[in-house]
Structure 1
Amino acid sequence: MRLYGKDWTRREIEARVGRMSQIGGVRRMTLSEGKEAGVELIRVTTGAGLTLDIVPSKGLDISRAELWGAPLSWQSAAGDAHPAYYDASGANWLRTASGGLLMTCGLTHAGSPSETPGGPQGLHGRAHHTPASQVSAREEWVGDEFVWSVEGTIEENALFGTNLMLRRRISGKLGDNSIRIEDCVENLGFAPAPHMMLYHFNFGFPLLDERTSLTLPPAISSERGGSGTAADCGGWERPDPNVGERVFYHELNDREGMAEACLRQPAFPAGPGTADLSVRLRWSADTLPRLVQWRMPGAGAHVLGLEPANCRVEGYEAEVREGGPVMLASGASVTHRLELKIETERAMIEE
């Protein structure tokens, strides 16, 4: 294990602690107040500065993410609202969407409210508000590495309708500020089913400020409903209550292997000083061939969304007009892979 700038064996670490949770690992807890009451969290601490709140109550999505106590993610005003308050009609998804590092949009629908063969679907589908089942949180030694994982299943089904199941596994190891997400979506039904999937990663202050830069993978870029170009996609600006959201589509040039986008913040808070920080988001380009970029530098809603997807965000009816959506045959499955890695190039102590 690489920890605190040094390599350790298992027994060397165990000799120095009474319990491994002294350094990090996974811990389950339940919120108890207001609209968040009853929401279960699984808090992951890597021992290298990264802390994540994984939320079984909301599809094993990832709420707050922080590094050295400073947030990487943007949180919405709704907080971790219990899914019992979810209203699936129209755009009411926005009333209980948590923000956080990851909100999953799918499994059969993502984007604007639409009429679908299974009936009306609200904004971004049901996955983010569907409690997971068969949830497990594990820690184990694998040689000299202390490995953690969180797993569970999320279902979207209806009598006489679709029957999709997502099996999610989020994993990493102590001493390493990176996570891996593996999602296997299977059609358990006996007819083909639409599969629209969008991974809504949300980054916020202090990762985002006027010094932040963004590197995108090679792609053909365009703005939804506008004339913007790739030149408008990088950098960031101070909050402006009068600014509106903009959405860009980046159609990947290379649809094999893993695509990557990188956010760099040269002055991220690090104790008494700052760190030159890079946050790298990688995903399987063969199953998620499009990156949707949501730019919202407004006041309060001050957030950058980087959203690997297999669809656009105009909804089901628009996908049909464009020759889609992706369909899963009866009994078929697809696996989406994503990785988030945090790198620190140098640290500076302010005098």
Structure 2
Amino acid sequence: MRNRFGTAAAIALMTTVGAVLLSACGPDTSGSGATAAPTGTAPGSTAGTSAPGSTPGTSAPGAPSQPGTPSQAGSPAPGGKEVNGTSAANHLTISTGTQTVAINGATVDFGTAVRDLAWSPDGKKAAFVNGNGDLVTANPDGTGKVTLAKNPGGETWSHPTWLHATREPGDTSGTEGLERFNTIVFAATKGGVLKLERVPTKTPGATPEELTPHNSEGGNDNLPQPPQTGNTWANAGGHRGAIAYANTPANEVYIYDDYIRPAARELAKGSQPALSPDGEHLVFVRSVNGHDHLFTRSTAWDQKTEKDLTPSATTDFTEPAWSPDGRTVAARTPDGISTLPADGSAAPTQVSTIKGLPAYRP
């Protein structure tokens, strides 16, 4: 198979910018939703010696009474400094498992518990698991909620990601064949068995289908096949329908796409992977000397060099996310959210004391 990946640029560190509300990438305004209580944690969210993602963290401060209403920004940091870390300029958002999400320097009420929030490729929609365990999409201000798939009960759903693909330059064949990539992939646990499932983004109320990563090089299905169970923490990147995911029993990170033909392969030991926006690099979590570190590597077939972005870590860095320009990585720590250059050229800097899941809105 030809090499489908290349090299991504990564240099500048994005820093905290003052609160900017209702900007070009700020909350929209339409619709409403009902309130539900927060639920448990995402399966497969532990890495190394700590338990990253095992608690939703604390509520974002100043939760408003109505969905879509921004409230006060930030929460006290050591020394009395107000830190929020999100702004229209840096695109960072933080969900905490409560019904409020930190975005654009404020907190926005989604009217229901928001677990494992992820953004659509155009930034116009958020996907998350609500308080009932259902898969839901909503506008950035928490309104316009749509239940894409209703949890049948007895299952735990977690960590949705928007799978997508675009036409190659010069391809005039239309977009019909790309619709199969217009889906949301998430992890589902039932009876102790963990698998990846997917639903189309344009069919509310659909029944999820199991996603089975496999290899079929040149039509040959007799190749070694990746595990079908124990898969979790899917994260899409690039424009060719690729996802990275973790296999919990093997403590292995895989990459999978079937843009041309199904191809799945292991990339590294670790968990909680995230693909860069161009799909050319991977960041993931691995335990080193008692702490969870962040590592990066190329997704190219012939490049296997790994880099520890946090070699001097004295705390745990988990649940990483890429900035839209691919230059910055945000990660969760026990004290909040830190960011660092994706090339490892500087140490992590804490940008928020809100304890939750970081995600970047394109």
Same fold (TM over 0.5): no
Q: Which has the larger radius of gyration?
A: 1
- Which structure has more strand as a fraction of its residues? 1
Choose between structure 1 and 2 for higher RCO, CA contacts under 8 A separated by at least 6 residues: 2
TM-score, length-scaled by structure 1? 0.28
